[in-house]
Amino acid sequence: MDNFQFQNPTKLIFGKGTLKNLQSEIPAYGKRVLLLYGGGSIKRSGLYDQVMDQLKELDAFVVELGGVEPNPRLTTVNKGISLIRENKLDFILAVGGGSVIDCAKSIAAGTHYEGDVWDIVINKAVPVAATPIGVVLTLAATGSEMNGNSVITNWELKSKRYFGSILVYPKFSILDPELTYSVPLDQTIYGIVDIMSHVFEQYFHATESAPIQEQIGEAILRTVIETAPKLVKELNNYDYRAIMMLNGTLALNGLLAMGVRTDWATHNIEHAVSAVHDIPHGGGLAILFPHWMEHVAKTRPEKIAQLGERVFNLAKEGKSDAQLAAETIASLRAFWTSIGAPATLSYYDIDETEIEKMVESAMITPTIGSYVPLKAEDVRNLLRKSL
């Protein structure tokens, strides 16, 4: 295990009816609020009205920025920064999924940076301060509600990049599983795939001996695999939504990354695919991850075999690691297909002509990933196989 430090300052407020905690949480940070939300789901579900009622009761001064895109864009981040500066706001309330929360984090850091916030997103500048953020989570997927990452798309450059900072962890996150009842089936499936993929990115690490982290990851995966088929049939089941919500948070709140060099190559490639073709993050991962595993299995099949034995309950006896790894990948594909996840890039009308742009966008360093570092040629092959 490598040396590490761990700090997670986000207060989680989990359960039914917890929205009212805005009353006790917000005043600590100020009552001049930027209310950030997405394309309208919170208006349709009635959550917008409930949040506004809470803010009125607090006598808060509220400026709204709606329309945050799935795969949030730099242009929207800049709008938020201007609104905070013009109105001297002191708090951001992000009501939504990962996109809204990520947008809030870049606004929070960018407000306190004199230059172009894109410098922060591409790690050219380091945030020195950030406007405090509170979250009302509406979708179980990214873990953004309890981490310091912000993923932003610069559409002009066809580049989707991210930064991480302790300064932008949400001060608090309200996780009421009932607020995810309205998440449609496709987004529910994408969330499930994203959660599993976050475990994979950290499970396939380049560090010797990290059995605790791996077994926590396996427990999350087993719980997702057990719950997902029931959830997709019963979207309004409280327990299934609650289990998935907590799984999503635990999969990417720093727990699994303690003391290990994590991989993230598949996320890099998916971000490149989304930057060029604007597809849902979880949909892209469902297509790409089995191909990444096939590439990795050529040289390092043992951990994939371990995953098959421990998570997909495959029998090991009499099989080589390579055979067991192949069965594991087949089981993963079958599982994702069974819940309705896509399996080919053509599902999103992506063809050969876009691959070169995606390779270019993915290769932010000469190789990506650490478990098995990928070169541009590997990424190109992986994308071609995914068509």
Closest to Zn ion by CB, 176 or 194: 194
Q: In what order do the strands lie in the sheet with 91-96?
A: 11-14, 172-175, 133-137, 91-96, 32-37, 61-65
> To which residue do tokens 């991962």 refer?
285
Residue 55: count of CB within 10 angstroms of its CB: 19
Residue 147 within binding range of ligand NZQ, rule CB under 6 A: yes
Q: Pattern of binders to ligand NZQ over 93-122, x per CB under 6 A?
A: ---xxxxx-x--------------------
- Are the beta carbons of 181 and 20 closer than 8 angstroms? no
Output the CA–CA distances (angstroms, integers) from residue 273 to 157, 283, 295, 308, 314, in the order listed.
13, 11, 18, 28, 32
Q: Does 71 bind ligand NZQ (CB under 6 A)?
A: yes
DSSP 134: E
Binding at 102: pick from Zn ion, ligand NZQ, none (beta carbon under 5-8 Å per type): ligand NZQ
Contact flag: residue 145 with Zn ion (CB under 5 A): no
Binding region for ligand NZQ (CB under 6 A) out of 113-121, 188-196, 235-243, 378-386: 188-196
Radius of gyration of the chain, Cα coordinates, nearest whole angstrom: 20
Q: Which residue is nearest to Zn ion (CB)?
A: 194
Q: In the complex, what is the shortest distance from the CB of residue 112 to ligand NZQ, in angstroms, rounded to a whole number?
A: 19
Residue 96 interacting partner from Zn ion, ligand NZQ, none (CB closer than 5 to 8 Å by kind): ligand NZQ
Question: Which residue among 34, 48, 70, 135 contacts ligand NZQ (CB under 6 A)?
Answer: 70
Ranges within 202-261 binding ligand NZQ (CB under 6 A): 252
Position 194 contacts Zn ion (CB under 5 A): yes
Taking the least distance from each CB to Zn ion, the nearer of 145 and 194 is 194
Burial degree of 251 (CB within 10 A; 0-12, 13-18, 19+): buried
Contact 16, 176 (CB under 8 A): yes
> CB 327 → ligand NZQ: shortest distance, Å?
27
Residues shown for the chain: 387
Number of residues forming the site for Zn ion (CB under 5 A): 1
Residue 40 contact among ligand NZQ, Zn ion, none, beta carbon within 5 to 8 Å by kind:
ligand NZQ
Nearest to 191 by CA among 104, 149, 251, 238: 251
- Examine residue 267 and tell whether it contacts ligand NZQ (CB under 6 A): yes
By beta-carbon proximity to Zn ion, the closer residue of 271 and 310 is: 271
Burial class, 349, CB count within 10 angstroms (exposed 0-12 / middle 13-18 / buried 19+):
exposed
Q: How many CA atoms lie within 13 A of 339 on its CB side?
A: 29
CB of 127 to ligand NZQ, least distance (A): 15
Tell me the number of residues near ligand NZQ by CB under 6 A. 36
Q: Tell me which of ligand NZQ, Zn ion, none is bound by residue 373, counting a contact when its beta carbon lies within the kind-specific cut-off of 5 to 8 angstroms.
A: none
Contact present, 98 and 141 (Cβ < 8 Å): yes
CB closer to ligand NZQ, 138 vs 173: 138
Output 136 or 324, the one with its CB closest to ligand NZQ: 136
Residues 28-67 that bind ligand NZQ (CB under 6 A): 38-42, 45
Residues 367-386 within binding reach of Zn ion (CB under 5 A): none
Helix (H) or strand (E) holding 34: strand 32-37
* Spatial separation of the C-alpha atoms in residues 225 and 239, rounded to whole Å: 15
Determine phi and psi for 278, rounding to 5 degrees.
50, 65
Q: Which does 30 bind (CB under 5 to 8 A by kind): Zn ion, ligand NZQ, none?
A: none
What is the residue-wise DSSP string for 336-372? HHHHT----GGGGT--GGGHHHHHHHH-SSSSB-SSS
Binding site residues, Zn ion, CB under 5 A = 194
Binding site residues, ligand NZQ, CB under 6 A = 38-42, 45, 70-71, 96-100, 102, 138-139, 141-144, 147, 149-151, 179-180, 182-183, 187, 190-191, 194, 252, 267, 281-282
